[in-house]
Amino acid sequence: MPRAGLTPDQLVVVAAALADRDGLDQVTVSAVARQVGVKPASVYAHLDGADDLLRRVTQLALREMAERAADAMAGRSGRDALEAWATAFRTYAFAHPGRYAASHRPLGRQDALAGAGPRHTSLSVAILRGYDVPERDHVHAVRLLGATIHGFLDLEAAGSFDHSAPPAADSWPRTIDALDALLRGWPS
């Protein structure tokens, strides 16, 4: 029987905070139970186990990232929209490293379509409208944007850029400039 006053959404927020503080790999049903002062069985009364918990953290992160990107992009186009979109993800990754890591977890097709997946796609396509990327190439351009931005952020978070000068922060605007140039010169 579920514990009164405890909800699945509350448990997910606790798990997300735990991920940000200690790392996504530390998010377990037992760890969340300890955080809220209950036995693991009480968490299981609200969720279908560890996979369900992590799936919900992933969905939360994707929703939050989409909201931040949409807010940042509002009223912008072209390079300005591209930079706002990418920087919203970078800011989120710094502020919420565990949630950002969760955003990379694969979701089943139904979960992805029912969650923030379509919104992320529409935001990426909105960026492409500021360029002459033919609609038939949108999927390729969206994949390129995602791979470049998230690849950069993952390497930066792992400290992979810490061993050479200049700092990664100096490479960030160059990365945006390179993506902008690539999108402006998209091959036919």
Distance CA 42, CA 56 (A): 17
Phi, psi of 96 (to 5 degrees): -135, 70
Topology adopted by domain 8-184: Tetracycline Repressor; domain 2 (1.10.357)
Q: What is the pLDDT of residues 158-176, one digit of tens each?
A: 999 999 999 999 999 999 9
Q: For residue 117, is pLDDT > 60?
A: yes
Give the burial string for 165-175 (b: 16+ CB within 10 Å, else e). eeebeeebeeb
Q: What is the pLDDT of residues 40-64, one digit of tens each?
A: 999 989 999 999 999 999 999 999 9
The pTM for the full model equals 0.92
Region of residue 170 (phi > 0: left; psi between -120 and 50: alpha; otherwise: beta): alpha
Distance CA 88, CA 80 (A): 12
